[in-house]
Amino acid sequence: MKNLSVVESHLERWAKPSIPLIDVRTPAEFRSVHAEGALNHPLESLEAEALPFEKSETLHLICQSGGRSAKACQLLEAVGYEAVVNVEGGTSAWQAASLPVVEGKKAMSLERQVRIAAGSLIVVGAAVGCFVHPGGYGLSAFVGAGLVFAGLTDTCAMGMLIAKMPWNRG
């Protein structure tokens, strides 16, 4: 997997417009804002066999900050794609560099949805533990452990689950 900055990706695609830019964020995130010319193929449902590209073709992959696109690059390389490029910094860096974007209906980012869900579960667990039964603290501990695991492994089971919710699917 090759890594390029957003500016390097933009320049490479400007010099060779046939290079596709694949945005692996959720459809809701994509609709809110995406790099001009990007195609949406969400990571949660990314099936390498269904992509309309040759395995020898150069593909640039982008997400919000670079994590999901790096995972998508690894997935595509594992099934034989030879020239996948991770766009470092993602759509956030693309916007910060004042590169062209398409803005649409604002949507809540997946990361924000995860923070709201995790925080809510921790508060509910603490409230149940305090007012109903001490076992409620277990929920807070479980969510806290999940957050630590997500931070250490750079994978988030809650994020993958929330990404499959109807409001994030399209």
Active site residue 73: no
- Identify whether the C-beta of residue 33 lies closer than 8 Å to the C-beta of residue 103: yes
Catalytic one among 63, 73, 130, 156? Answer: 63
Spell out the residues 6+ positions from residue 164 whose beta carbon is closer than 8 angstroms to its own. 44
Q: Tell me the catalytic residues.
A: 63
